[in-house]
């Protein structure tokens, strides 16, 4: 039987504290009692999975914690992760009516975290979701073990279908395990949620197996064989590796892709930052802010984010930048990195930048910035090459094309969801797309 990996101690993420620790029962009831239980509540409309927020908050206020968890998990099987990682400031909490009166909005994420963590720890996930249906004899293959596939697999299993997840990495969970900033969720917390989904039964995880188009070698399975051997296929491929700048001196020690570096901070005990006093992060999105913030929390004295436009143009959330700045991250705006500099021994010594207008370099003296580490957070490539194995599945601009109401692709047996479809959103979007896909799959496979 599959055993989830046990992550070794000594990983850098273990040094970073949880910034919104779980409420105590007393704190949760006090916060829940502030909710006005609005009719047509704007917080519900702002939740991509449509959780009945006033309903679960009311249950917390009456000490019905298991009932609150049931209300959450009915709409969002990964409600524990989402409670910790959702950008609530721009979703439910941002929509709470208290904001309009200049008062502190309800801490919906922390209440959700309290309810799901408490109830699942005491009863397990299986007792908090609808009773599992009798086996149907149908089986579904899911490619990738990120939140899209894990949520879809759990929902399919509850309907009596067998779900088999193929994951190319040794550690499952996709970016929810390997990418989330440690101050929001640790890799072990993400794995614990997967453990509960596997415990529903009829969910099998094959880690270290990459699904490929064409003939499969060792550690691979061919997409074509999945089409033949399974009643349906779900593609939860996520995105591909970090993009490179293509500047001179980029190749070599000291220059990392941000997603690769975050993964190592979370799971690789061999990564050490000894000797790194100054770090530069290139980019202005959420991944850039996350890695800059993490490096600062890990003790790097000077962490600069170099962004080619102005702060107002950044795609990263303003509240995340504010947190990162509070810990000392600084922003260098309107600069484009033109080259990386290295010493005679090949060691990274820094980079050069040009002034930028509208994101493009303009003529002038290059400026130098000394550093021992660079993280490139300028986007991720797409990872949809395997789609070729499924005739009729279309890929446009690197994303799998689906009908957004059903998440159906152009192949009648293939559905898809999450980052590989939406181009890279949040965990909660991956869960919602998985939900829509499963709803439609059930119609195709038989079931409700």
Stretch (H or E) spanning 10: none
Q: Determine the 3-state secondary structure of 275 from DSSP.
A: coil
Alpha-carbon gap, residue 446 to 138, rounded angstroms: 9
The residue from 57, 69, 107, 211 that contacts ligand FAD (CB under 6 A) is 211
Alpha-carbon gap, residue 290 to 283, rounded angstroms: 11
Q: Show the tokens assigned to 103.
A: 């008062």
Residue 187 binds ligand FAD, judged by CB under 6 A: no
Residue 106 binds ligand SF4, judged by CB under 6 A: yes
Nearer to ligand FAD, 164 or 175 (CB): 175
The site that binds ligand FAD (CB under 6 A) totals a number of residues, namely 39
Burial class (CB within 10 angstroms; exposed 0-12, middle 13-18, buried 19+) of 3 = exposed
Residue 415 binds ligand FAD, judged by CB under 6 A: no
Min dist. Cβ of residue 66 to ligand SF4 (A)? 20
Residue 97 interacts, among ligand SF4, ligand FAD, none and using kind-specific CB cut-offs from 5 to 8 Å, with ligand SF4
Min dist. Cβ of residue 112 to ligand FAD (A)? 13
Stretch that binds ligand SF4, among 31-39, 135-143, 183-191, 279-287 (CB under 6 A): 31-39
- Cβ atoms within 10 Å of 204's Cβ, excluding its own: 18
Residue 318 interacts, among ligand FAD, ligand SF4, none and using kind-specific CB cut-offs from 5 to 8 Å, with none
Residue 174 binds ligand FAD, judged by CB under 6 A: yes
The residue from 83, 205, 418, 436 that contacts ligand FAD (CB under 6 A) is 418
Distance in angstroms between the alpha carbons of the first and the last residue of the chain = 30
Stretch that binds ligand FAD, among 22-30, 302-310, 401-409, 425-433 (CB under 6 A): 425-433
Stretch that binds ligand SF4, among 33-41, 281-289, 344-352, 402-410 (CB under 6 A): 33-41
Closest listed residue to residue 170, CA positions, set 140, 209, 212: 209
Min dist. Cβ of residue 216 to ligand FAD (A)? 11
The residue from 37, 251, 318, 385 that contacts ligand SF4 (CB under 6 A) is 37
Residue that the structure tokens 């033949």 belong to: 228
Stretch that binds ligand SF4, among 40-48, 346-354, 359-367, 424-432 (CB under 6 A): 40-48
Residue that the structure tokens 């962004």 belong to: 307
Q: Determine the 3-state secondary structure of 84 from DSSP.
A: helix
Nearer to ligand FAD, 128 or 289 (CB): 289
The residue from 23, 166, 307, 340 that contacts ligand FAD (CB under 6 A) is 166
Residue that the structure tokens 């593609």 belong to: 235
Residue 36 binds ligand SF4, judged by CB under 6 A: yes
Residue 37 interacts, among ligand SF4, ligand FAD, none and using kind-specific CB cut-offs from 5 to 8 Å, with ligand SF4
For the chain, how big is the Rg over CA atoms in Å? 23
Q: Show the tokens assigned to 120.
A: 């699942």
Residue 100 binds ligand SF4, judged by CB under 6 A: no
Q: What angle do CA 390, 393, 394 make, to 5 degrees?
A: 140
Min dist. Cβ of residue 30 to ligand SF4 (A)? 14
Alpha-carbon gap, residue 404 to 391, rounded angstroms: 19
- Cβ atoms within 10 Å of 163's Cβ, excluding its own: 30
Residue 284 interacts, among ligand FAD, ligand SF4, none and using kind-specific CB cut-offs from 5 to 8 Å, with none
Strands in 252-383 per DSSP E: 255-257, 278-282, 302-306, 330-332, 335-342, 348-357, 360-361, 367-370, 373-376, 380-382
Closest listed residue to residue 78, CA positions, set 405, 367, 417, 331: 417
Burial class (CB within 10 angstroms; exposed 0-12, middle 13-18, buried 19+) of 217 = exposed
Nearer to ligand SF4, 39 or 218 (CB): 39
Q: Show the tokens assigned to 146.
A: 């990120």
Residue 150 binds ligand SF4, judged by CB under 6 A: no
Alpha-carbon gap, residue 299 to 309, rounded angstroms: 27
Stretch that binds ligand SF4, among 90-98, 272-280, 316-324, 378-386 (CB under 6 A): 90-98
Positions touching ligand FAD (CB under 6 A) are 85-86, 143-149, 166-169, 174-176, 179-180, 184, 210-211, 236-239, 259, 262, 287, 290, 383, 386, 418-420, 425-428, 430
Q: Which residues make up the interface to ligand SF4 (CB under 6 A)?
A: 35-38, 41-43, 53-54, 96-98, 106, 108
């Amino acid at each position: 039987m599959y055993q989830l990996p046990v992550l070794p101690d000594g990983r850098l993420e273990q040094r970073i504290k949880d910034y919104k620790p779980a409420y105590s029962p007393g704190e949760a009831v006090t916060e829940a009692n502030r909710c006005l239980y609005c009719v047509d509540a704007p917080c519900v409309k702002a939740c991509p999975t449509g959780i009945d927020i006033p309903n679960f908050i009311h249950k917390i206020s009456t000490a019905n914690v298991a009932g609150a968890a049931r209300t959450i998990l009915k709409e969002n099987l990964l409600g524990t992760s989402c409670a910790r990682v959702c950008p609530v400031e721009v979703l439910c909490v941002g929509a709470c009516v208290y904001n309009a009166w200049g008062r502190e909005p309800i801490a919906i994420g922390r209440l959700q975290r309290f309810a799901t963590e408490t109830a699942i720890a005491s009863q397990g996930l299986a007792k908090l979701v609808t009773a599992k249906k009798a086996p149907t004899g149908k089986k579904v293959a899911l490619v990738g073990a990120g939140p899209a596939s894990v949520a879809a697999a759990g929902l399919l299993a509850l309907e009596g279908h067998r779900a088999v997840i193929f994951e190319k990495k040794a550690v499952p969970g996709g970016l929810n395990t390997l990418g989330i900033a440690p101050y929001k969720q640790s890799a072990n917390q993400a794995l614990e949620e997967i453990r509960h989904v596997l415990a529903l039964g009829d969910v099998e995880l094959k880690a270290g197996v990459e699904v490929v188009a064409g003939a499969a070698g060792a550690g691979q399975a061919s997409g074509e064989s999945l089409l033949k051997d399974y009643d349906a296929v779900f593609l939860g491929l996520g995105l591909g590796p970090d993009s490179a700048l293509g500047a001179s001196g980029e190749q070599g020690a000291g220059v990392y892709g941000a997603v690769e570096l975050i993964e190592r901070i979370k799971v690789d005990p061999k990564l050490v930052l000894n000797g790194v006093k100054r770090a530069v992060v290139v980019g202005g999105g959420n991944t850039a802010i996350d890695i800059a913030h993490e490096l600062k929390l890990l003790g790097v004295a000077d962490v600069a984010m170099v962004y080619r436009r102005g702060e107002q143009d950044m795609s990263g959330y303003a509240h995340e930048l504010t947190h990162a700045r509070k810990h000392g991250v600084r922003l260098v705006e309107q600069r484009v990195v033109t080259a990386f500099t290295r010493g005679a021994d090949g060691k990274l010594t820094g980079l050069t930048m040009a002034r930028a207008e509208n994101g493009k370099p303009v003529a002038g003296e290059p400026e130098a910035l000394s550093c021992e580490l660079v993280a490139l957070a300028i986007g991720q490539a797409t990872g949809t090459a395997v789609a070729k194995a499924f005739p009729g599945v279309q890929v446009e601009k690197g994303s799998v094309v689906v009908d957004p109401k059903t998440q159906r692709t152009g192949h009648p047996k293939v559905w898809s969801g999450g980052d590989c479809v939406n181009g890279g959103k949040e965990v909660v979007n991956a869960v919602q797309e998985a939900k829509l896909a499963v709803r439609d799959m059930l119609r195709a496979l038989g079931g409700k």
